[in-house]
Amino acid sequence: MRGGGGNGSEGEPWPWPWPPCDERLCLAVPLWVLVPITAICLGLFVLGVAGNVLTVLVIRSYRDMKTTTNLYLGSMAVSDLLILLGLPFDLYRLWRSRPWIFGQLLCRLSHYLSEGCTYCTLLHITALTVERYLAICFPLKAKVVVTKRRVKAIVGVLWAFAFLSASPFFFLVGVEQPDNHTDFSRECKPTPQALESGLLATMFWVTTCYFVLPVICLSVLYGFIGRELWRSNTRLRGPGSVLREKGHRQTVKILAVVVLAFVICWLPFHIGRIIFINTRDMRTMLFSQYFNIFALQLFYLSATINPVLYNLMSKKYRAAAYKLLLPRRAAERAFTVTKDASGYTETSASTRNEYTTSF
C-alpha cells in the first residue's frame, strides 16, 4: 500500500491541526504543506516521463545501444513509466481524499501496477547485477550464456513473475463506502476483508522479502565483483584488456549508483508501510500521515532519477541522447575539422568513439 490516509468523519474529535472533510474540500494535509508537495510531484512527473521515454528511445534507436545491459535498463525505464502513471491518482487523494471518483477498477489497478512495477524494478536490478557478475568474474562463460535472446526471455519472465506475485494487491484495496453514508464517503483503501483475513500482513511480508533478499544478494555480488576488479589490476595485459576493464568499471559504477539510489528512495517507503500497518493511536497516525507523504515523494523520485544518473555518469548515453534530440548538430559535431599539435587537420571522432564503449 502506498502511504497516506483520509480524514476523519464529520462529528468525530479531530486530532489533526486542520479542519475535517466537507463536500467542498477534503485535503489529506494542510494547504501550506500540500502546495509545495504538489509542485515537487509534478516536477518529478514531467522529468520522469521525459527521461524514461528518452531512455527507451535511445536504446531502441541505435543498434550500438542494444546491449544486454541496456535491454535491462530499457525495460526498467518502461517499469518506471508505469509507476509514474500512479502519481496523478496519489495527488488527487492528497487534494481530495474523499470521494474517490475513478471507480473500483482504477482504485485496484493503480495500486496493483505500482506494486508490480516496484517488484519488477527490483528483479531487473538483481538480474542485471548477476549478468555483470558473470561478465566480469567469468567472461568466457558469459559470452556463451549471456545472449540478447536469453536476456529478452529473462526480462519477460521477470515481468510475469513480478505481476503474478503482486496479484493479491489487486484484491487488497477497493472502494469502500460505510453504510448509511452518502457517495461523498467513498474511499480507495484496504478492504475490511483484507484486514480481517490477514492478507495485508501477508503482503507486507512479501514486500519485505522483495526488499531484503535482493539487497543481500546485491551486496554479496558487488563484493565479488569488487574483488575481481581489484585483482585484475595486477594481471592486465595489452590495450584491449585495459579498455575492456575500463568499460566494466564504468558499467559497474553506474549500476552501483542506481542500486544505491533505489535503496535510499525505497527504504523510507517500506518503513512507512511498517508504521501504517502498526498504527494504533492518533499521535502515531499523525506522524504516519506526514512520513508516508515524504516517503511517497522519494518513491516517485526512484522512478525519475535513473535517466538523470545515466546522463551524469555515461558519456555514451549523453552522446546518444544528443544525437537523438539534435541530429543535425550532432552530425556537424561528428565531422568538425580540428588541428593537432603538428598542424595537421583531422576529423574528430569523439562522438563515434563514445558508442563503442559500454553503457
Give the CATH number for residue 183: 1.20.1070.10
Q: What is the mean pLDDT of residues 294-319?
A: 86
Percent of the chain with pLDDT over 70: 74
Provide the residue count of the chain. Answer: 359
User: Is pLDDT of 173 > 70?
Assistant: yes
Q: What is the mean pLDDT of residues 326-332?
A: 69
**Amino acid 162: pLDDT:** 94
Q: Which residue has the higher pLDDT, 38 or 257?
A: 38
**Amino acid 7: pLDDT:** 44
Percent of the chain with pLDDT over 90: 21
**Amino acid 257: pLDDT:** 82
Residue 189's pLDDT band (boundaries 50, 70, 90)? confident
Residue 145 belongs to some domain of the structure: yes
Nearest 5°: phi and psi at 347? -80, 135
User: What is the pairing mode between strands 337-339 and 187-190?
Assistant: unpaired
Q: What is the mean pLDDT of residues 159-179?
A: 85
**Amino acid 103: pLDDT:** 86
User: Is pLDDT of 268 > 70?
Assistant: yes
Local structure of 345: helix, strand or coil:
strand
Residue 142 belongs to some domain of the structure: yes
Q: Is the dihedral of CA 21, 24, 29, 32 positive or negative?
A: negative
Cis peptide bond N-terminal to 99, omega within 30? yes
Residue 315 belongs to some domain of the structure: yes
Residue 6 belongs to some domain of the structure: no
> Please, are residues 103 and 285 in contact by the beta-carbon 8 Å criterion?
no
Q: Which residue has the higher pLDDT, 251 or 226?
A: 226
Among 60-74, 212-226, 227-241, whose mean pLDDT is lowest? 227-241
**Amino acid 264: pLDDT:** 85
Among 300, 271, 265, smallest CA distance to 288 is for 271
Q: What is the mean pLDDT of residues 241-248?
A: 64
**Amino acid 359: pLDDT:** 61
Residue 221 belongs to some domain of the structure: yes
The pTM for the full model equals 0.79
Among 41-55, 261-275, 326-340, whose mean pLDDT is lowest? 326-340
Residue 14 belongs to some domain of the structure: no
Residue 247's pLDDT band (boundaries 50, 70, 90)? low
Q: How many domains does the chain have?
A: 1
User: What is the domain extent for residue 283?
Assistant: 31-356
Tell me the average pLDDT of the chain. Answer: 77
Residue 90 belongs to some domain of the structure: yes
Residue 241 belongs to some domain of the structure: yes
Residues 6+ away with beta carbon under 8 Å from 91: 38, 41, 42
Q: What is the mean pLDDT of residues 270-279?
A: 75
Q: Which residue has the higher pLDDT, 199 or 179?
A: 199
Residues 6+ away with beta carbon under 8 Å from 199: 168, 171, 172, 193
Give the model confidence (pLDDT) of 100-155 as tens digits: 888 889 989 988 999 899 899 989 989 988 998 898 888 888 888 889 999 999 99
User: Is pLDDT of 292 > 60?
Assistant: yes
Q: What is the mean pLDDT of residues 51-68?
A: 90
Among 25-39, 264-278, 326-340, whose mean pLDDT is lowest? 326-340
